[in-house]
Amino acid sequence: MVCLPVILVLAMLQAVAPVAQPKVRAWLDPDRGEPAGTHYRTFPSTLAGGEVSYLIYLPPDYQTAPQRRYPVVYWLHGRGGTPQKGAPFVRTLNDNILAGKAPAMIAVLVNGLRDSLYVDSPDGKWPVESVIIRELIPHIDRTYRTIARRDSRSVEGFSMGGYGAAHLGFKYPELFGMVGVMAGALVDCGFFMPDSSHSDVAEKLCGSDRAYWQENHPFTLLRKNADRIRGRTEIRVAVGDRDGLQRNNQALHELLVELKIDHEYEVVPGIEHERGRLYGTLGERAFAWYQRALRRTTSPDKRVTN
């Protein structure tokens, strides 16, 4: 596994000082703004012990084509962020749908808290992964006109969200037919441990069980589920050539090659660890990928329903 200096990785993950708040409050984004045509919504979560918020984007013809169902992308924000960080992604997706360069899709901007990496904490106090898999996805499929099949369901994210997309996509190939890793923070738990200023993060993410973390790392999950992913899951990895995490994303690419898993890998020139510039430079390519991926995942020889 490729390693980077602790300080560099933590800076890239956009670390912020933790804010003391009640547990239930952490699951609700206090910013109820609805940017880029999204809608602020909540759902009741048994696992979180209260309401959990998310933002949802519905494609332009959602209200005028009441019989139509849509594929879904679950977009995961980076560390220190909130679902609001997905606003540029949704805005550009909408533009590309209107231009006929992206398929009409529902986008769910997920609340991953601020430093979860989208993995359940070992002590069970922060079941982010389980909330998404066991509660949010069923809620979305019940509430909106989705195509509730893995071949029409995607998970994508930037930085911490890229880690989360790889973690969830590789751990649950029966749920996700498309996985987008954008400048994924594919770090090891050990990066957090030596830095005493982030000891709270280390405890929350890793606890004292380093084996638990390693078992849930995307690389481990990819090896474990390679036969269930190969030929069935569309995978896209993109990262800037000046991004300090480029080596980690390169390592994912090399592992995919080793396992003979088809995927797309793009190193974007001149880009550091910048969400806006990465997506902006990719432009319509970031969304045309979904047209290609959906054609392939829904072909008769590749369709696997859940």
Euclidean distance between CA atoms 187 and 184, whole angstroms: 9
- In this predicted structure, the answer to whether residue 254 has a pLDDT above a threshold of 80 is yes
So what's the pLDDT on residue 63? 96
Handedness of CA 134, 179, 34, 118 (dihedral sign): positive
Euclidean distance between CA atoms 203 and 75, whole angstroms: 26
* 113: alpha, beta or left? (left if phi > 0; alpha if psi -120 to 50): left
Main-chain phi, psi angles of 40, to 5 degrees: -80, 125
So what's the pLDDT on residue 296? 84
So what's the pLDDT on residue 204? 64
User: For residue 294, what pLDDT band results from cuts at 50, 70 and 90?
Assistant: very high
Least confident of 21-35, 93-107, 113-127, 169-183: 21-35
Q: 48-64 pLDDT, tens per residue?
A: 999 999 999 999 999 99
User: For residue 211, what pLDDT band results from cuts at 50, 70 and 90?
Assistant: confident
Euclidean distance between CA atoms 249 and 232, whole angstroms: 21
So what's the pLDDT on residue 55? 98
Find the mean pLDDT for residues 258-283. Answer: 96
- In this predicted structure, the answer to whether residue 155 has a pLDDT above a threshold of 80 is yes
So what's the pLDDT on residue 145? 98
More confident residue, 123 or 37: 37
Residue ranges per structural domain of the chain:
6-297
- In this predicted structure, the answer to whether residue 193 has a pLDDT above a threshold of 80 is no
**Residue 178 CB contacts under 8 Å (≥ 6 apart), including other chains:** 73, 153, 154, 155, 156, 169, 233, 234, 235, 236, 290, 293, 294, 297
Q: State the pTM of this model.
A: 0.88
Average pLDDT, the chain: 88
So what's the pLDDT on residue 220? 96
Domain 6-297 classified CATH 3.40.50.1820?
Answer: yes
Of 19, 211, 224, the closest CA to residue 115 belongs to 19
